[in-house]
Each structure stands twice: as structure tokens, then as C-alpha cells.
Amino acid sequence: MSGSRDAEYSEYVAARLTSMRRLAAALCDDWQRADDLVQATLVKLYVHWGRAQSVSHPDAYARAILVREFIQDRRSNWVRRVSLSSRVADSPAAVMDHDAVLDLRAAVATLPARQRATLVLRFYCDLSIDQSAVVLGCSAGTVKSQTARGLEAVRLALGPAHAAGPGRGRAAAGAEQPIIPGGRGRD
């Protein structure tokens, strides 16, 4: 029994590890912390593997564990007590090095954990409001308000042209750019 359970778990993790790591990096904006987050997620997933196998979408189950681990990690005292003085220069090979992407990442990195998680789920993972609410364990209204607050904070961080909102400023001239790369941006 245990041998086949372990084999199924190992096969699942081998197939999903890269995408889990990318999602964690989008949440953390730090590859080393993302690896730690994925490791904690994999431990919890292994403990609850029987339950994860029985649900209709094991990927959604694993994603929910990862996002909740991220939010829990951000709430812990460790994050408040430990401040790293320098960052290791480590970037993924697939990242496009455009100024706009870097500015966007910096703006998203300043958001509180729940707003960042909401934006990543909504626009990076392309989940609906209801799906995001299930992953975050909150109401659809909370997802909407966290999305609105997060987008407004990103717009303010990116500058006055973005802060004007849709239909004003640069957006009115047809130069509107997506807020989060890879997502459709629907509310």
C-alpha cells in the first residue's frame, strides 16, 4: 500500500514541481524563499496525499496549500524579525528583462500578502473570483476588494499615468497595458 502511495506522490511531484516553483516565485519574488515555500507545501501535500488524490482537482488542492503556506509564512514573526541585508542575484532563465516587467514585479512585491496572493491567483493563475475565494478560504467579496486594493496600489506604485485608471490618462489614448502579464484581467 505505502509503496504505491509513495510512487504516485513522487510521480505527481515530478510532473508539477516546476509549475509549483514558478507560482511560489510569483508570490515571494525571491527564488530561495520560493524553494522553501514549495518544500513546506510538498511536506503538507505528502501528509494529506490520500485526501489530495480523492478530490477532483489535485492541482487546485496543491495550489491552495501553497498559497495558504505563503500567507501563513508572511504572518509569522520570522518575516518581521529577519531582514536580509543583500539579495543573491538569481533570476530564472525564462524571465523577459523588460523595464515594465521589473517595475511591475517591484510594485507587486510591496503589496501585503493577501493582496499579492489574490492578484497572483486572479491574473497569474487565471482563476475566477469564486475559485480564488476557495483557495484563499474567504468570500468572493473579499477577493474582489483585495483585488481592487491590490490593483490600485500597483497603479499608484507604477506612477500617475497608471493611477488615473481605465478611461483616463494614457489609457484613453489606447496605450493601456495589462497590469499582470499572463492573465486576462477579468473581474
Radius of gyration of the chain (CA): 18
Q: Domains of the chain (ranges plus CATH)?
A: 1-79 (1.10.1740.10), 96-187 (1.10.10.10)
Instruction: Specify the residue for cell string 529577519.
Output: 82
Rounded CA-CA distance 60/135 in Å is 8
pTM, entire model: 0.52
What average pLDDT is seen over the chain? 79
Instruction: State the pLDDT at residue 47.
Output: 92
Instruction: State the pLDDT at residue 129.
Output: 92
Q: What is the dihedral of CA 169, 170, 173, 179, to 10 degrees?
A: -120
In one-letter notation, the amino acid at residue 15 is A
Q: Is 184 exposed, middle or buried (0-12, 13-18, 19+ CB in 10 A)?
A: exposed
Q: Return averaged pLDDT per consecutive 10 residues of the chain, 187 residues in all.
A: 81 92 89 90 92 87 92 70 56 61 84 91 90 92 94 87 49 47 48
* Side-chain half-sphere exposure of 181, counting CA atoms within 13 A: 12
Instruction: State the pLDDT at residue 165.
Output: 52
Of 14, 12, 81, 110, the residue nearest 53 (C-alpha):
12
30's CB contacts (< 8 A; 6+ apart) are 87
Instruction: State the pLDDT at residue 104.
Output: 82
DSSP class of residue 170 equals G
